Amino acid sequence: MRLPRLTTTLFIDLAIWMIGFGLLMGIIFPFFILILGLNSNDVLSTQFFAASISAGLFVGTANYLLARWVVRPRLQRLSEHTRKVEAAVRNATYHDDWENCTSTVCQIPVDSRDEIGESISAFNDLVDALLLSHEVEAASADFAHSLSRQLELNQLANHALERILSYTDANAGAVLIERMGELVVIAQQGLTQTDQLITSEPVRRCLTANSLVSVILPVDIMIDAVMAHARPREVCLLPLTVEHTSLGLFLIAKTQEFTFHARRMMHIFQQSFSLALNNALAHEHLQTLAAIDALTGAYNRRFGLTRLNEEFQRTMRLDTPLGIMVLDLDHFKTVNDTHGHLAGDRVLARVAETIRGNIRTGDILVRYGGEEFLLILPSAPEEACRALGERLRCAVAELRVNTGQHVLHVTVSIGLSVFPNDEAESTQQLIQYADEALYLAKHNGRNRLVRFGAAPVVSNNQCGAPIAITPARRRVAAHC
């Protein structure tokens, strides 16, 4: 039952209703007494009516005052805390300072189980929701801002994974991206057997459905614990997409089930992470385009020399060998003049492909200029360099390039220098040694490997027959 409002002030309405009800009780009380059989002359007298009405007004007034003293302080406290929260939110909006409104400061103790207690409880829930909203907004902004400063792919993935694990209280996770049609793990923390992730059914289901996949009690993933491996209670996988294009996914695991809040945070981070990952992949692609020679697929000269400096510094620091080869196609000008530059380009591309097919993953092939290549061999001892050089020379000699009208055959001359066997103070000096060795290879008939600084060897131009020059014959010349 709800009584109508008489004024705009609650306690004035309360006073009117309580005092009015007391007055009404004072008026009808004498008639109620008559029912009990008392003398009507005494009950209906002026004095008795006055006493009864006065008593009713007194009781009504007393009830109003009691209600005011009991209820009003609690309502005032609720109002004061509301004002405090309002002031804190307004201050935080402009100054980003939430120290004046925490759960401890802004919440009100619930001391009753009535409607006022429920109102206070609802107010506390509102404070919690407000603080949670601020926490989520701050976390989202911090996550997006921190990722915006990262363009290097692996650093971005590791940084994002670390933040996601922290904000969701997860124990382990991994980031997988699609490269050349295959999934690759580019970041992981706390997981073992990550190679099984790529072919696992939950990963396939996540990418196919393009939605969150939750797995309870997985059987094929373990979490690195301090002393042993722990089995997660739940694993969540979320796809990373931009404009319906799949980039990959991130996976997080926890030894307990994820809370509703953690799940919401996953979805919030999912969008920011997808955009940042797309930017990093685009940046990586641009860097690759800037570093790769479009015709041969080898690194260009600028990037190659930068990598050579890095490998030289690593060699100096770790005291490991470093091999340098300069390879030059023999009579390549004749190929261009006779068959045209398109045929020459095809020959260059096939030779570069042949070289890449015979070197290690960590070796660095550079198009040094025109028909000349530079091959950087980290941690390669001299004998391994010699063997590789002969293998490359033979592979190119056996290569046949079909241009559509002709089948072309080319050979390659190779100059080799090896640090620290060849004492050098700079990468330029190492290249100079290899270049001088290449000059001798050209001078002595081409299609051969020359090791700088070794004793002269007579070559029959067959595989396995290198020649060498001595340091006294150092000379740099143009090669044809």
Asked if residue 221 and residue 244 are part of one domain, the reply reads yes
Whether 3 is covered by a domain: the verdict is no
* b/e burial code for range 265-287 (CB count within 10 A of at least 16 → b): bbebbbebbbbbbbbbbeeeeee
Residue 456: per-residue pLDDT: 40
Q: CA gyration radius for the chain?
A: 43
The mean predicted confidence, pLDDT, of the chain is 82
Domain end point (choices 259, 289, 319): 289
CA distances for 440 relative to 326, 391, 451, 457, 465, angstroms:
12, 19, 10, 11, 14
Residue 160 reports pLDDT greater than 80: yes
What whole-number distance in Å separates Cα of residue 20 and Cα of residue 28? Answer: 12
Asked if residue 465 and residue 324 are part of one domain, the reply reads yes
Task: Among 225-239, 247-261, 295-309, 388-402, name the one with the lowest average pLDDT.
Answer: 225-239
Average pLDDT over residues 111-140: 80
Tell me: the pLDDT tens digits for 266-300? 988 888 888 888 888 888 777 777 788 989 999 99
Residue 475 reports pLDDT greater than 50: no
Whether 78 is covered by a domain: the verdict is yes
Residue 460 reports pLDDT greater than 50: no
Asked if residue 205 and residue 337 are part of one domain, the reply reads no
Asked if residue 358 and residue 461 are part of one domain, the reply reads yes
Asked if residue 268 and residue 159 are part of one domain, the reply reads yes
Distance from chain centroid for Cα 327: 41
What is the domain range of residue 227? 153-289
Whether 190 is covered by a domain: the verdict is yes
Shortest CA distance to 187 belongs to which of 153, 146, 162, 157?
Answer: 157
Residue 310 reports pLDDT greater than 50: yes
More confident residue, 442 or 146: 442
Asked if residue 348 and residue 283 are part of one domain, the reply reads no
Given a contact cutoff of 8 angstroms between Cβ atoms, the answer to whether 342 and 404 are in contact is: no
Which contiguous run of DSSP H or E holds residue 130? helix 115-148
Residue 469: per-residue pLDDT: 39
Q: Which residues pair with 179 in a beta bridge?
A: 182
Average pLDDT over residues 396-404: 91
Structure tokens at 243: 């404009």
Whether 135 is covered by a domain: the verdict is no
Whether 79 is covered by a domain: the verdict is yes
More confident residue, 248 or 124: 248
Whether 136 is covered by a domain: the verdict is no
Domain end point (choices 76, 97, 129): 129
Given a contact cutoff of 8 angstroms between Cβ atoms, the answer to whether 161 and 276 are in contact is: no
More confident residue, 139 or 435: 435
Residue 72: per-residue pLDDT: 79
Asked if residue 267 and residue 223 are part of one domain, the reply reads yes
Average pLDDT over residues 210-221: 72
Asked if residue 378 and residue 259 are part of one domain, the reply reads no
Structure tokens at 330: 């023999």
For position 237, which CATH number holds?
A: 3.30.450.40
User: 4-8, 48-52, 113-117, 322-326: which has the highest mean pLDDT?
Assistant: 322-326
Residue 476 reports pLDDT greater than 60: no
Residue 383 reports pLDDT greater than 90: yes
For position 313, which CATH number holds?
A: 3.30.70.270
Residue 364 reports pLDDT greater than 90: yes
Average pLDDT over residues 404-418: 92
Whether 186 is covered by a domain: the verdict is yes
Binning pLDDT at 50, 70 and 90, where does residue 147 land? confident
Binning pLDDT at 50, 70 and 90, where does residue 221 land? low
**Is the pTM of the predicted complex or chain greater than 0.95?**
no
Residue 243: per-residue pLDDT: 80
CA distances for 366 relative to 363, 369, 376, angstroms:
10, 9, 8
Asked if residue 180 and residue 219 are part of one domain, the reply reads yes
Asked if residue 212 and residue 168 are part of one domain, the reply reads yes
Q: What angle do CA 104, 105, 108 make, to 5 degrees?
A: 80
Asked if residue 275 and residue 341 are part of one domain, the reply reads no
Asked if residue 184 and residue 309 are part of one domain, the reply reads no
Task: Among 43-52, 324-333, 344-353, 435-444, name the one with the lowest average pLDDT.
Answer: 43-52
Residue 466: per-residue pLDDT: 43
Domain end point (choices 289, 323, 353): 289
Tokens 């997860």 -> residue: 170
- Give the number of domains in the chain: 3
Residue 472: per-residue pLDDT: 34
Whether 49 is covered by a domain: the verdict is yes
Given a contact cutoff of 8 angstroms between Cβ atoms, the answer to whether 132 and 145 are in contact is: no
Binning pLDDT at 50, 70 and 90, where does residue 229 land? low
Residue 432: per-residue pLDDT: 95
What whole-number distance in Å separates Cα of residue 235 and Cα of residue 223? Answer: 11
Residue 223: per-residue pLDDT: 57
Tell me: the pLDDT tens digits for 55-87? 888 888 888 788 788 777 877 877 887 787 778
